[in-house]
Amino acid sequence: MTFQAYIDNIKAKTGMGPAEFKQLATQKGWMAGGKLRADVKAMEVVAWLKAEHALGHGHAMAIVALLKGMKKEGDR
């Protein structure tokens, strides 16, 4: 599965894309300079995404990669 397929599946399941997840992470105080702060642990974000957005581990990690700036929408 391509990274974009993960993003498409997340949008289909939650109705939200990268911008919305970045906004939510910003509201939680997890973002600085447009990226996930270094002191925020990936598993904390994954737990939040699983609990509040019913994402599986792989899909949650895709959002973490977006928040860290490692990937962007449209990546394969």
| pLDDT tens sequence across 19-61 | 999 999 999 999 999 999 999 999 999 999 999 999 999 999 9
Buried-state track 65-75, b at ≥16 Cβ within 10 A, e below 16: bbbeeebeeee
Asked whether residue 76 is assigned to any structural domain, the reply reads no
**Three-state DSSP state, 18:** helix
Report yes or no on 35 lying in a domain: yes
Backbone angles phi, psi at 29, to 5 degrees: 80, 20
3-state helix, strand, coil in the chain (%, to 5): 60, 5, 35
- The number of domains in the chain is 1
Owning domain of residue 10:
3-68
Contact 64, 46 (CB under 8 A): yes
pTM greater than 0.85 (yes/no): yes
